[in-house]
């Protein structure tokens, strides 16, 4: 019964919060350009004055560069760039370290719809109550929802395994 329930639950990646004014917008690297587009939209709508890209990778092929952020109209002075994160777990630990250092208490975490469940799980698990996080799903602009893509089975399977790895506390395995 537990296996059946966990499999059924694994298909539900529809979670998203309504954006609220925050200290920071966190754009989790990886995935499609819609993450940066959503972060830029939230920035232009005035939800936060700063955007953290974790990790920033200065590459024209990837969707997590400062150049792409500026192309979407986020000014350089509003960007906070970090290049050390290697997983969702390290995204979370580094984000909270940066927020603590900059005396920030709230953030909008922007990621893909298929990635939001695991992101929310690990950010909430590591948060000691010091931070107020809201999770914003960046839907792909052209391709539709994750389950409508040609690689939907791979996305589902990968996220199912990774979420259980996180739930078991063996984060290093996902690195």
Give tens-digit pLDDT for 17-41: 899 999 999 999 987 888 999 999 9
Residue 123 vs residue 5, higher pLDDT: 123
Cβ proximity of 87 and 5 under 8 Å: no
Distance between CA atoms of residues 26 and 108, nearest Å: 6
Q: Which among 5, 13, 9 is positioned nearest to 146, based on CA atoms?
A: 13
Instruction: Determine the pLDDT at residue 149.
Output: 61
Average pLDDT value for residue range 10-20: 75
Q: Which two tokens stand for residue 73?
A: 């109209």
Residue 17 vs residue 4, higher pLDDT: 17
- Indicate the pTM of the whole model: 0.83
For Cα atoms 68, 74, 15, give the angle at the middle one, nearest 5 degrees. 80
142 pLDDT tier (thresholds 50, 70, 90)? very low
Most distant CA atoms of the chain, gap in Å: 52
* Domain residue ranges in the chain: 15-140
Average pLDDT value for residue range 125-143: 86
Give tens-digit pLDDT for 82-117: 999 999 999 999 999 999 999 999 999 999 888 888
Class level of CATH domain 15-140: alpha beta
pLDDT, the chain, mean: 85
78 pLDDT tier (thresholds 50, 70, 90)? very high
In percent, how much of the chain has pLDDT > 70?
79
Average pLDDT value for residue range 151-167: 71
Cβ proximity of 75 and 101 under 8 Å: no
Question: Minimum mean pLDDT among 28-32, 158-162, 169-173: which range?
Answer: 169-173
């Amino acid at each position: 019964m537990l296996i059946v329930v966990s499999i059924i639950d694994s298909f539900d990646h529809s979670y998203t919060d309504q954006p609220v004014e925050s200290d920071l917008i966190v754009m989790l690297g990886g995935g499609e350009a819609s993450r940066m587009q959503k972060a830029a939209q939230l920035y232009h709508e005035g939800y936060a004055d700063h955007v953290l890209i974790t990790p920033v990778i200065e590459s024209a092929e990837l969707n997590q560069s400062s150049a792409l952020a500026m192309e979407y109209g986020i000014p350089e002075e509003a960007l906070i760039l970090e290049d050390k994160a290697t997983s969702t777990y390290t995204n979370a630990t580094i984000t909270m370290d940066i927020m603590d250092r900059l005396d920030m208490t709230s953030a909008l975490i922007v990621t893909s719809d298929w990635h939001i469940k695991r992101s929310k799980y690990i950010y909430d698990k590591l948060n000691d109550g010091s931070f107020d996080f809201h999770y914003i799903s960046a839907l792909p602009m052209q391709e539709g929802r994750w389950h409508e893509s040609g690689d939907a089975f791979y996305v589902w399977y990968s996220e199912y395994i990774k979420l259980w790895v996180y739930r078991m506390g063996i984060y290093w395995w996902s690195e």
